[in-house]
Amino acid sequence: MSDTPVKVVIDLSKPEGEREQIIPLTAEEIAQREADAAKAAQEQAQREAAEAQRQANKESAKAKLAALGLSDEEVAALLG
């Protein structure tokens, strides 16, 4: 990427060969982009944290069931 991010705009109303424009982003567009990126990263982190917690809970449940005397096959049948 160059120092100032650019957007590629394809105007489909124009003939081929004349459609493409490469335009530097405005300050407002850059701010919007940064806000979107932060939100996306936050959402992704939340999803991954939730999944990690779910996996940890599952492993903990397996260990407790095994401690009760269930075989690996029986635990798998219960938890999938």
Residues that bind another protein (CB under 8 A): 1-2, 5-13, 16, 19-20, 22, 25, 29, 32-33, 36-37, 39-41, 43-44, 47-48, 50-51, 54-55
- The Cα–Cα gap between 75 and 16 comes to 62
Cβ closest to another protein, residue 20 vs residue 74: 20
Q: Minimal distance in Å, beta carbon 74 to another protein?
A: 23
Separation between Cα atoms, residue 75 and residue 69, nearest integer Å:
10
Q: Are 33 and 5 in contact (CB under 8 A)?
A: yes
Rounded-to-integer distance, Cα 12 and Cα 25, Å: 21
Cβ proximity to another protein: between 2 and 73 the closer is: 2
